[in-house]
Amino acid sequence: METRKPHFGIFALAAILAFAAGVICFSAVPVPVQAAEKEQKIGVKVGKPLQAAQELTQQKKWKEALAKVNEANAISGKTAWEQFKIDQFLVYISLNLADYGSAAKAMEASIASGFLTAEEVTTHHKQLAQINYQSKNYAKAAEYGRKYLQASPGNTDMLLLVGQAYYLQKDFKNARDNVRALIQASDAAGKEVKEEYLQLLMSCDYELKDSDGVAKDLEMLVQRFPSVKYWRNRLEMVMDRSNLSEQQSLEIYRLMLATDVLESAEEYVEMAELALHLGLPGEAKSVLEKGFAANKLGGEQKDRQQRLLDMAKNQADGDSKSLSQLEKEAAAAASGEADAKLGEAYLTYGQYDPAISALQRGLGKSGVKNAEAAQLHLGLALLGAGKDEDARSAFKTVTADPALSDLARLWTIYSKQQN
């Protein structure tokens, strides 16, 4: 039988996020002008318009206050301290006027003055990152965000801002590094890792054409934010592996069925046909019955689908009656292959305890042709029997086959979500 790989829609991860510069709340404190600072004094010529500006800011007359500050700024012969105080007023007033370009320029001048304390410089770096992001100057936002993070490593808000700033410059590698750091810092601090963080990380990996990274990101999304969409996207990536065998394809369909992501009649029929071809009519019967119950089957192809179901029922009836004889033969065989096949058959009929016994017996012998699949089936049988921890231990041993190891990890995630 030639396996027909189902057609999945385009996996357009690049379009998963749309960033918009939101409103950022800035904090700026007006600096009183009493010329009483111990370090320096403000002369009368500069101090008079600044005093007037301070009074106007208290009345929230920002434009009038700005005019007075500009008047002070126009005075020649100012000291470095006077210029510093003027720039501080310009920061405060410009922020309140939403003139972020002027505020940023004044902040940079304040930092360059050398009069700010280390703590104040850090605060200015934070505000400059926010201002430049708001103004869509993403390169500057990233620059000042990095400087802020040097003093406040692990700050999740800033890691997100810097990550977004890099992303919007199409610097996906640096964006990814910052988002990874954001997720690690959030976990370390016991903070919520938001779905948007993982979406951003996945989009970075997609843009970098890192398919392994995308797969890991989707696994985190499946684990932290389980949904039909994420389960299907992750399982599509397993299905898209090249040169899948019929057995591997059926294993993928099993998890798709368990996670409710089978979408079309074609997928239900394909799974049933695979099961029949692999000698598992009981599974084919169960799949088709579920397809009809979910109204996925029964449309234009109803007659064909019903004939397939009738055939599966007839074969399953004879197959189930032969299991006891096969049990005796498998137990007596020197090779474990017959036990492995029997265990899978029991599994498809929901007979979990006999499945566990047969699979464990087979794996204890030599000669099992696909030990990875048998180990996966043992995990599924243990899971069906309610032995979740034992099932996860079985899944951990499936490591050699790339497709099956993916499924083993995903079954582990699924098992934890059922508790």
Same domain, 149 and 183: yes
| 404 inside domain | no
The answer to whether residues 151 and 186 belong to one domain is yes
* 291: in domain: no
Residues 155 and 220 in one domain: yes
List the beta bridge partners of residue 366. 335
Under DSSP, the state recorded for 37 is: -
Q: Which residues pair with 191 in a beta bridge?
A: none
- Residues 254 and 7: their CA atoms lie apart, in Å, by 17
Evaluate whether 404 touches 253 at the Cβ level (below 8 Å).
no
- What is the domain extent for residue 66? 28-116
Q: Please state the pTM of the whole predicted model.
A: 0.84
For the cut 60, the answer to whether the pLDDT of residue 392 exceeds it is: yes
108 and 58 in a common domain: yes
Residue 179 lies in a domain: yes
Asked if residues 91 and 85 have their Cβ atoms less than 8 Å apart, the reply is no
pLDDT tens by residue, 49-61: 999 999 999 999 9
Query: Residues of the chain with pLDDT > 70: what percent?
Result: 91
pLDDT digits (tens, 9 = 90+) for 117-147: 999 999 999 999 999 999 999 999 999 999 9
Q: Is residue 71 one of the residues assigned to a domain?
A: yes
Residue 9 has pLDDT above 90, yes or no: no
Buried b (16+ CB within 10 A) or exposed e, 272-301: bbbbbebebbbbbbbbbbbbbeeebbeeee
Q: Is 335 within the bounds of a domain?
A: no
Amino acid at 373: A
| Distance from the Cα of residue 125 to its chain's centroid | 29
Query: Phi, psi (5° rounding) for residue 366?
Result: -95, 170
Q: Tens of pLDDT along 300-318?
A: 899 999 999 999 999 999 9
Q: 154 pLDDT exceeds 80?
A: yes
Which of 39-48, 91-100, 295-304, 368-377 is predicted least confidently?
39-48
- Residue 234: how many other CB atoms lie within 10 Å: 25
Given a cut of 80, whether residue 228 has pLDDT beyond it is yes
**Do residues 141 and 101 share a domain?**
no
The mean predicted confidence, pLDDT, of the chain is 91
The total of structural domains in the chain comes to: 2
Domain for residue 178, yes or no?
yes
Give the up-direction half-sphere exposure of residue 144: CA atoms within 13 A in the CB hemisphere.
22
Domain membership flag for residue 124: no
Tokens read off for 290: 């579920």
Domain with 199 in it: what CATH number?
1.25.40.10
Q: Which two tokens stand for residue 114?
A: 């050398």
Please give the pLDDT value at position 175: 98
Shared domain check, 149 and 68: no
